[in-house]
Amino acid sequence: MSASAAGAQTLLSVEGLVAGYGSVEVLHEVSLEVREGEIVTLIGGNGAGKSTTLMCISGIVPVRAGTIRFAGETIAEASGGVRADKLVGRGLVQVPEGRRIFPRMTVLENLMMGAYGRNDRDGIARDLEHVYTLFDILKKRSGQLGGTLSGGEQQMLAIGRAILSKPRLLMMDEPSMGIAPLLVARIFEAVRELNREGLTILLVEQNARAALKLATRGYVLETGRMILTDAASKLLDDPRVRESYLGD
């Protein structure tokens, strides 16, 4: 957590969020907040509604009830919301589950897709070099097709593409899924470094132990309802969390 996070203002606020698909209600009055400079993690079992929460915040899944505010402005409620592409321009950026890179484009072309809405050439160049500093393998393979990379390298590429979008809040959905442990450690270290530089992060992660060790605070979502919230260090020691999500 950056030095200013403890007393920082709320960047993202989700209040009473209700959402779902068709006749199925997935989220039942979910509330959470993320303050400037934090890493906040959202953990829970499969089907708990974690990804749906992120998709609502990103403007992809419509809100049936409740309110989502970003940087003090309402971006989603039952009457409608800001389009997903417009949210990216405001600095709300998501690295989706499954990475979703462009397999037939080169690594560099994939990265530059993150900067499609920008026109500050010098800033783009600096951010590209920053990505290459975080993940030097991407620089070595900048001319290689994205689809030929390993799963872990594709995850690095997806994160790099998000950085080129110049996020104010970076949301990450299951960044360790299907990735070799060595590369997972590298990705988590990059997340930690980005946060040290001041980037605010909302992390959904299947590896609850690793996520809570990385985060400032955590929320536990169970069958679409928020059942626990606390400092991440306290959730690591909570008997309910240890039994249900840490395998202790």
- CATH (domain of 22): 3.40.50.300
Buried b (16+ CB within 10 A) or exposed e, 231-246: ebeebbebeebeebbb
10 Å Cβ neighbour count for 85?
10
Percent of the chain surpassing pLDDT 70? 97
- Asked if residue 142 is part of any domain, the answer here is yes
Span 149-194, pLDDT tens digits: 999 999 999 999 999 999 999 999 999 888 888 888 999 999 999 9
- Asked if residue 215 is part of any domain, the answer here is yes
For the residues 36-56, what does the mean pLDDT come to? Answer: 95
| Reported pTM | 0.92
For the residues 78-88, what does the mean pLDDT come to? Answer: 92
Whole-number average pLDDT of the chain: 93
At residue 163, the 3 state secondary structure works out as: helix
- Asked if residue 20 is part of any domain, the answer here is yes
- Asked if residue 160 is part of any domain, the answer here is yes
- The order of strands in the sheet holding 10-21 is 24-35, 10-21, 65-70, 73-77, 80-81
For the residues 196-205, what does the mean pLDDT come to? Answer: 96
- Asked if residue 2 is part of any domain, the answer here is no
Q: How high is the pLDDT of residue 6?
A: 56
- Asked if residue 4 is part of any domain, the answer here is no
The parent domain of residue 132 ranges over: 9-245
Nearest to 157 by CA among 136, 178, 182, 185: 136
Q: How high is the pLDDT of residue 161?
A: 96
Q: Give me the number of domains the chain comprises.
A: 1
Span 140-149, pLDDT tens digits: 999 999 999 9
- Asked if residue 1 is part of any domain, the answer here is no
Q: How high is the pLDDT of residue 180?
A: 86
- Asked if residue 99 is part of any domain, the answer here is yes
